[in-house]
Structure 1
Amino acid sequence: MKLSEYAAHDATGLMELVKRGETSPAELQQCAMQAIAQLNPSLNFMSGPAAVGEHGSGPFAGLPFLFKESHGCKGQPMMQGSRLTADLSASADSEFVARLKRAGVAPLGATTAPEFGLYCSTESTLHGATRNPWNLGHSVGGSSGGSSAVVAAGVVPVASSSDSGGSIRGPAHCTGTFGLKPSRARNLLDGKTDGGLFPFISYHVTTRSVRDSAAFLDVLQGASLGSRYSVARPDRPFPQEVGADPGKLRIGILRSSPLLTRLHPDCQTAIDMAGKLCADLGHSVEEGSPDLDWKVLMGAFLPAMMSVLPHSIAALESLTGRTAGVDTLEPMTLRALDYARTLTVPDLFKADAVFQIARQAVDRFFLDFDAWITPAGVSPAPRIGEFDPAASKEGVIEYAHRTFADYAAFTPLLNVTGHPAASVPLHHGAVSDLPVGVQIVTRLGDEATLLRLASQWEAAMPWRNRHPSHSIFKG
């Protein structure tokens, strides 16, 4: 099988070829290994070496697969983009990884991430910069940047991702891939802490097609035993929602940044295009967004995200025998650690009160609407260095505010509220010559409507024939 033939199929398509005897898992894995060897030198998406691993007998038996380096695949890197944890490998599979292995995937290695997943660009002193296959001068976003890079470039059709403030959706927006953050508790959290005091994180995969995302959601769903959170099981398998008629939806649309930064022209074009497409598809579209103070929300998000740092870093110091300092942490992470040590219990209670207001506002919004569409980012993929945590001289608050205002205004809200949200690669920018995503959000637990609408967009304006220059699609 030629690499271009391999890359032409999504995961579902590859499994159909295997089922018909037209290829084998071993041949698919060989293609993926060749693609890694060909593209990693320029894109820098691997955390450690690649090697073919054993695979199970599930619905994706033998599918070449790469795990984000923080996801805990036994024997693979667990460095989390940090010199503090350099050379650390997972001693056992996490439950998330175990579910993926039960689905049959063949682990080939780990993908890069920024330090502890804190940053919106996959750049670290440990790994260097992971580069965008559409333009090597631009980032792939963060923190699931390595995973989005390999899917966009055709190396594997699916890779594992996670999202605490946009870390699936942001990289999908930057690379022209499909990135779904499921509802809180649709997929398990980490199986141990259940997300801690602020359960922002969601685990899933990055894909090139809506149907692959739906298929993996089907095999990954289910909260961990004893979880504090739950969401209703779907009425039917998620793959059956792909291509299903969504009916006439009531769609609210946000056409501008809630933090008052002007949208990049390509992002403005993308959301306007999405609104017109929805209307052309017969949906009701009107301006509308949850009634909340976005500036207050972002002000509460930072302390909530950073509050766990002192405990987490102390645990890693104990595990590795290394000390947190200028030789082991990014300068911005050190500033964030100092900031986190100033936080008090009342600070966290105040943040939680803000989040409760936000959850109520979004749920109230969905009393009148079936879906909400927003830009996926204020701007397309940032340039390498624009958000590099080792290069910025800003304080952590200033850096975070710039990140929200100039790039990631639209994604953190849904980590706070737990609603499902996805970046859909609807547009390719004429100004930036980079992919641009549009975010779809639906009611808590209603991935079905999201998948129906996203697949309707995919059929009306297919993106699968748009390929980056640094990829194997034409090779």
Structure 2
Amino acid sequence: MQLSEYVNHDASGLASLVRSGEVTPLELTQLARAAFDQVNPRVNAVIEFYDDAEGVAGADDGLFQGVPFLRKDIGASEAGRLQEAGSRLFKGYRPNADSFYFQRAQRAGLRTLGRTTTPELGTAGFTESILNGITRNPWNLDLSAGGSSGGAAAAVAAGITPVAHASDTGGSIRIPASWCGLIGLNPSRGRISGGPTSQDASFGLSRTFVECRTVRDMAAALDVFSGPHPGDPFIVVQPKRPYVEELLQPTQPLLIGVARTKWGTVDLDPEILRAVDSTAALLEEMGHAITEIEAPFEPAERLKIALSRLNLAAAELDLAAERMGRRLGPDTLEPINLKLYEYGRNASFRPGELHEALRVMRFRTGEAICNFDILLTPTMPTVALPHGGPASTTNATLTAEEFIKADHALYQYVGIFNLTGQPSVSLPLAQSQSGMPIGLQIVGRFGDEATLVRVARDLEEARPWRQRRPAVHAGG
């Protein structure tokens, strides 16, 4: 297989070729390394391609046997591998246990060959850090790949691997998927275990999944990574059938709520609104009922919750610094993260008030949208922005409050569904006049990834995106 052929296959396609004997896992690893050598110097998405990558093991009978995979440098862990969270605070850190996520990846046949960039501590939606530099968008190197799974998204978009590990606490899978032209699903709270060390992380706001290019890869990844483990705080309703079988099921008529107005202080770009309207019209042609909706929450209340959580984050950083034997300061934390830490450490905090604010936000938002089967919203209010934006942790000019306000204003459509726990997926359904990807978000009922799989399949068939290629792409 040539590199130009490798990059044209999704993960499911490569697995099929391995299964039929047309290519070997070793050959796929070598092709991934060739793609890395060709494009990574330009996009800076992969900070480490393992020296021993050709010896990485994986099951021979899994859904993804032999498919190259990459790990985001924060969250789910591999025993003995560097995991530095994009931060000088964790430089040199190596966990001593595999996460359940990567145990499942190996059983599925995925070969994890290296790690991708993340902003420091995964805090921002711009993947740039003092430790690892700027990750660039393969569609336009002057623009951001998004974050915090920006390295994963840039690597997949540029063709290094067809799928990569990603995680999402406030939009960090969907933001880079939108800006890099990929599929980014944030599963239901509890769908994928964070064990053995991070079950129900960040009050249940954080979930782990992948960045990928096709709906069938999304469905197969759900089958690979879903399922409860002992010690998980609760078990979400399990699917009626494997998600790959949902690809063969019809989609019944749905009631769809459509967001055409801004849900924060950043205005909705007219090109994004046109993409929403066009997709809503397409869904209506498919037999679904469309109703316009307003923002289902008060932005000020969500901002208050974010500021309240900084106290807990500061306590976690204190513990981390103690474990690492390092001091928190300008030599270990970037300017914004240091300001967020100091704000949280000095803030008055009542855990009961935070829990109650989270409960009320979930309840009110749930009541506002409970009559809809799915929602259609923009993923982002704008196409990809230049590096060093106001929501970057390397921006030394902002106060902690200003950073949180800028962050929530820009990611106005995504973070709310981390709070509610609902599954939501960004699909690359449109492009701007300048050729940049535009992602649109489909939100499902809690625990109902199956409907998202079917709707995503329908939209992929109606408006195929698979053959679009960014300016920087391996094999070209």
Q: Within 2, Cα distance between the matches of 1:111 and 1:277? A: 36
CA offsets, 1:291-316, max 9 Å, x none? 43222123212322x23322322232
Shift of 1:213: 1.1
Select the residue among 423, 426, 429 that pairs with 1:423.
426
Task: Return 236-245 or 461-470, whichever deviates more.
Answer: 236-245
Deviations 1:125-149 (A, max 9, x none): 0000000000001111111111111
Name the residue aligned to 1:409.
412
Stretch deviating more after TM superposition (120-129 or 42-51): 42-51
Q: How far apart, CA to CA, are the structure 2 residues paired with 1:288 and 1:388?
A: 31
Task: Tell whether 2:228 aligns with 1:223.
Answer: yes
For residue 242 of structure 1, what is the aligned residue in structure 2? 247
Question: Which residue of 141, 153, 157 maps to 2:158?
Answer: 153
Q: How many angstroms apart in 2 are the aligned matches of 1:444 and 1:376?
A: 18
Deviations for 1:183-221, whole angstroms, at most 9, x for unmatched residues?
000111243342356111001111101111111111111
Partner of 1:345, secondary structure, is: coil
2:126, 2:147 within 8 Å by CA — same for their partners in 1? Answer: yes
- 2:338 paired with 1:337: no
In the TM superposition, residue 24 of structure 1 has moved relative to its aligned partner by 1.4
The size of the alignment, in residue pairs, is 470
Contact 1:289–1:372 under 8 Å retained in 2: no
Q: Which residue of 1 aligns with 2:137?
A: 132
Cα deviation code 1:90-134 (max 9, x no counterpart): 332112111111111111111110111111111000000000000
Query: Which residue number in structure 2 is paired with residue 442 of structure 1?
Result: 444
State the TM-score, normalizing by the size of structure 2.
Answer: 0.95
Any conservation in 2 of the 1:33–1:50 contact (CA below 8 Å)? no
SS for the counterpart of 1:277 is helix
Cα distance in structure 2, aligned partners of 1:382 and 1:303: 28
Is the contact made by 2:153 and 2:176 (CA closer than 8 Å) also made in structure 1? yes
Deviation at 1:290, TM superposition (A): 6.2
Q: Distance in 2 between matches of 1:324 and 1:260?
A: 33
Structure-2 separation of matches of 1:190 and 1:174 = 30
Residue number among 66, 70, 78 corresponding to 2:83 in the alignment: 78
**In the alignment, is residue 284 of structure 1 matched against residue 289 of structure 2?**
yes
Partner of 2:462: 460
Is 1:296 matched up with 2:301?
yes
Gaps of 5+ in 2: none
Per the alignment, in what secondary structure is the counterpart of residue 89 of structure 1?
coil
* Aligned equivalent of 1:38: 38
Indicate how the Cα distance of structure 1 residues 40 and 27 shifts in structure 2: closer, same or farther if over 3 A, else same. same
Give the match's secondary structure for 2:192: coil
Match of 1:324 in 2: 328
User: Residue type of the partner of 1:447?
Assistant: E
The equivalent of 1:398 in structure 2 is 402
Aligned residue for 1:75, secondary structure, equals coil
Check conservation: 2:118, 2:148, Cα contact below 8 A: yes
- The Cα offsets for residues 223-275 of structure 1, whole Å up to 9 and x where unpaired, read as 33122222110010011112532111100001121114311222222212221
Partner of 1:6: 6
Q: Which of 50, 58, 76 does residue 55 from structure 1 map onto?
A: 58
Maintained 8 Å contact 2:256/2:375: yes
Distance 1:313 1:227 in 2: 24
In 1: Cα distance, 2:157 partner to 2:42 partner: 14
Verify the 8 A CA contact 1:69 1:76 in the aligned structure 2.
no
Runs (4+) off by over 6 Å: none
Q: Name the counterpart of 1:269.
A: 274
Could you list the per-position Cα deviations for residues 21-50 of structure 1 after superposition, in whole angstroms to 9, with x for gaps in the alignment? Answer: 221111111110100111111111122343
Corresponding letter in the other structure for 1:457: L
Aligned equivalent of 2:311: 307
- Give the equivalent residue in structure 1 for 2:367: 364
Equivalent-residue separation in structure 2 for 1:36 and 1:113 (angstroms): 17
| Equivalent of residue 114 in structure 2, options 83, 92, 109 | 109
Q: Does 1:120 align with 2:125?
A: yes
Change (3 A) 1:190 1:339: farther
Give the AA of the match of 2:269.
Answer: H
Give the Cα–Cα distance (whole angstroms) in 2 for the partners of residues 109 and 193 of structure 1. Answer: 21
Partner residue, 1:377: 380
Rounded Cα–Cα distance in structure 2 between residues aligned with 1:180 and 1:49: 25
Contact 1:290 1:364 (C-alpha < 8 Å) held by counterparts? no
Structure 2 distance, partners of 1:337, 1:442, is: 34
> Amino acid of the residue matched to residue 22 of structure 1?
E
Name the SS of the counterpart of 1:425 in structure 2: strand
Q: Secondary structure at the match of 1:74?
A: coil
Match of 1:67 among 64, 68, 71: 71
Query: Residues 156-178 of structure 1: CA distance to partner in whole angstroms, max 9, x if unpaired?
Result: 11100010000111110110000
Contact 1:189-1:223 within 8 A present in 2 as well = no
CA distance in 1, matches of 2:64, 2:402: 44
Identity of aligned residues (%): 37
Amino acid at match of 2:311: S
Alpha carbons 1:426, 1:437 under 8 Å: kept:
yes
TM-aligned CA deviation for residue 4 of structure 1: 1.7
RMSD of Structure 2 on Structure 1 (CA): 1.6
Contact 1:48 1:77 in 2 (8 A): no
Q: Is the 8 A contact 2:423 2:449 kept in 1?
A: yes
Which residue identity lines up with residue 93 of structure 2 in the other structure? L
What runs of 5+ residues in structure 1 fail to find an aligned partner? none
Report SS of the residue matched to 1:308: helix
Which residue identity does 2:445 align to in structure 1?
R
Letter in 1 for 2:347: L
Q: Distance in 2 between matches of 1:99 and 1:137?
A: 36
Q: Distance in 1 between matches of 2:16 and 2:79?
A: 29
Paired residue type of 1:101: Q
Whole-Å Cα distance in 2 between the matches of residues 161 and 175 of structure 1?
14
CA distance 1:302–1:421, shift in 2 (3 Å): farther
2:166 and 2:208 in contact (8 A); partners too = yes
Letter in 2 for 1:394: L
